[in-house]
Chains A and B, each alone.
Chain A
């Protein structure tokens, strides 16, 4: 988790979504993706990507939590005492996570059962605390909100790609719809894709594809 505060000073008379704001949204989708570039939030990416439906709700949950906690922390950034700032961030994040958990239990009960402990574990998702420390503590509410949405979507997008690969190859379906049966192909699910090891392979492939496209090489 990077602790460097990225200072972004925006001039007062800018359009609602200027270049910088658009960048805040788009950077985490590709060149600064939390999962594939920063390699944060891997635990839940391995755990909830067996099927697309729970992955989708997980992504929505994380987007909501990063967005709202980034926003709230940014509003409070000048009154948060420095000595207790981590615990304050944690309290805010936990509140939103419990909110998500309660809402799922009330309105999407089966999804909440599939996600089980992983909703609660959003609290420990490094992406959220990372963005609070690195961005929201040093930037205005609106850019922080966008940064939260961007990172949430960056996480969610990878989650959906991985879940798509795993559900298609592991169970032969997409969002529960049996694709191969519909096409009349007798497909036997690949067991590796159903277990977490399949997610590690799938994420590895995504990282490989992304790096090959962006021409990124490891510097040693």
Chain B
């Protein structure tokens, strides 16, 4: 049956409105719950960088919150390493990323144990092949050795670039150092090609402190990781330097 154009328009508008209202209501009612999930995941990520995925995975949600509240202190520094009077929650990492590196406000998470400062964790943000990637990097208190990393992404290819979220890839960064012997910042680079995966990939780069094995078929995502790491190590560099100076002075 042929219907008039005005009928079709009315029908389509009514349908669209109904769907829109339904979806808005759903979003509004689930928004808080979803935000809480994301916030909790962030806590898990930060703990994972220095405790390992297995340990954090075995923890109950209350334990995650307890350990996080005990050990992690959040703060914000500027490009010169000066501590600012604000909290990371007030910042949007993606918006800070778009600013010139000197003007960025940088969230920082310090992990303290019984013997004072243990690690610093920095959030990072960048672009992979298709969409945003982000991560958390834990450095030892020498401010140059990587304790552990966590990466996440929005739309990298499953099975290829999306492998950055796996422990297998993240383990490759452990123990690498971001400075050369003269103390200059060199970052850590993920190479092209892959040496067999798993332990083989780790051992192939054992004697190369600034390089990690690549991901076969995901060189462009790896490039994104490299840009992201280089960019943020540079941004936090003044803070790192200051920390090392402070420590030598107080010794």
Contact = CB atoms under 8 A, between A and B. Distances in A.
Interface size grouping (class) on chain B: 20 to 34
B155 to A, nearest CB: 7
B168 to A, nearest CB: 11
Contacts, number: 59
Nearest to B155: A117
B116 interface: no
B8 A84 contact: yes
Nearest to A116: B158
A106 B155 contact: no
Contact of A88 (B15, B22, B23): B15
B33 interface: yes
Given A105-B37, A106-B34, A107-B33, A81 B7 contact: yes
Interface of B: 1-3, 7-8, 11-12, 15-16, 19, 22-23, 26-27, 30, 33-34, 37-38, 41, 155, 158-159, 162
A213 B155 CA distance: 41
Contacts of A107: 33
B19 A83 contact: no
B158 A47 contact: yes
A81 B3 contact: yes
Interface of A: 47, 79-84, 87-88, 91-92, 94-95, 98-99, 102-103, 105-107, 109, 116-117, 195-196
A109 B41 contact: yes
Contacts of B162: 116
Contacts of B34: 102, 105-106, 109
A82 B3 CA distance: 8
A106 B19 contact: no
A95 B22 contact: yes
Given A81-B3, A83-B8, A99 B23 contact: yes
A103 B33 CA distance: 10
A157 to B, nearest CB: 23
Contacts of B16: 91
B207 to A, nearest CB: 27
A91 B13 CA distance: 11
B158 A82 contact: no
A196 B30 contact: no
Give me the 3 closest cross-chain CB pairs, A-B, nearest first. A109-B37, A106-B30, A106-B33
